[in-house]
């Protein structure tokens, strides 16, 4: 092998090792956490102590930006509440917290899809303009009961509101 080939192999391999080393150190140095901007945290052991998640459900919003706030808790193979009725045409602020492991939160037939991580409150803004039933499912493997982890949103005609 020519001396210039050896030199380029050494430089290339050294650069790769240096890059992977820096990447590895930065990932674990002081803990790897998501960006802090706009993310609300909650300790997984204290989710039920938070007034929003002690009785999860659909509530009229205090905000002018939303008609309703939907609070849900994901835990060992279930979502609470199990069935939600939302009036057609509603703008909803969905907030989900988990008490145990990482879960997925996907509403089939919509673009609602988020990861629910321990220690964070996952938030999604959605408009429910079409009546019908929408299946909520966990799309992140969370254990042996993962396939049974579902809930249902029913979008009903009219503007009648009832707390769940």
- Could you tell me the residue range of the domain that residue 6 belongs to? 1-32
Cα→Cα distances 21→13, 14, 17, 24, 33, Å: 12, 10, 6, 5, 19
Contact 90, 68 (CB under 8 A): yes
Same domain? For 1 and 72 the reply is no
Q: What is the CATH number of the domain that holds 118?
A: 2.60.40.420
pLDDT at position 159, please? 58
Per-residue pLDDT at 31: 60
Percent of the chain topping pLDDT 70: 90
Please tell me whether residues 138 and 68 are part of one structural domain: yes
User: Is there a single domain that holds both residue 25 and residue 46?
Assistant: no
Tell me the three state secondary structure of residue 22.
helix
Q: Clarify whether residues 12 and 84 are in a common domain.
A: no
Residue 106 and residue 139 in one domain: yes
For the entire predicted model, the pTM comes to 0.73
Q: Does one domain contain both 86 and 104?
A: yes
Cα(17)–Cα(76) distance, integer angstroms: 41
The pLDDT score that the predictor gives to residue 16 is 95
* Ranges of residues in the chain whose predicted pLDDT is under 50: 161-164
- Domain assignment present for 152: yes
């Amino acid at each position: 092998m020519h001396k210039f080939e050896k030199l380029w192999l050494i430089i290339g391999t050294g650069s790769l090792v240096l890059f992977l080393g820096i990447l590895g150190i930065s990932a674990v140095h002081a803990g790897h956490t998501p960006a802090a901007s706009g993310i609300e945290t909650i300790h997984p052991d204290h989710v039920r102590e938070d007034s929003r998640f002690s009785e999860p459900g659909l509530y009229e919003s205090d905000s002018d930006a939303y008609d309703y706030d939907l609070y849900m808790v994901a835990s060992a193979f279930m979502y609470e509440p199990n069935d939600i009725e939302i009036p057609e045409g509603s703008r909803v602020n969905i907030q989900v917290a988990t008490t145990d492991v990482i879960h997925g939160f996907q509403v089939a037939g919509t673009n609602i899809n988020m990861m629910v991580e321990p220690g964070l409150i996952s938030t999604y803004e959605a408009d429910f303009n079409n009546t019908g039933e929408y299946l909520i499912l966990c799309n992140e493997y969370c254990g042996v009961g993962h396939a049974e982890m579902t809930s249902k949103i029913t979008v009903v005609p009219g503007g009648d509101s009832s707390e769940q």
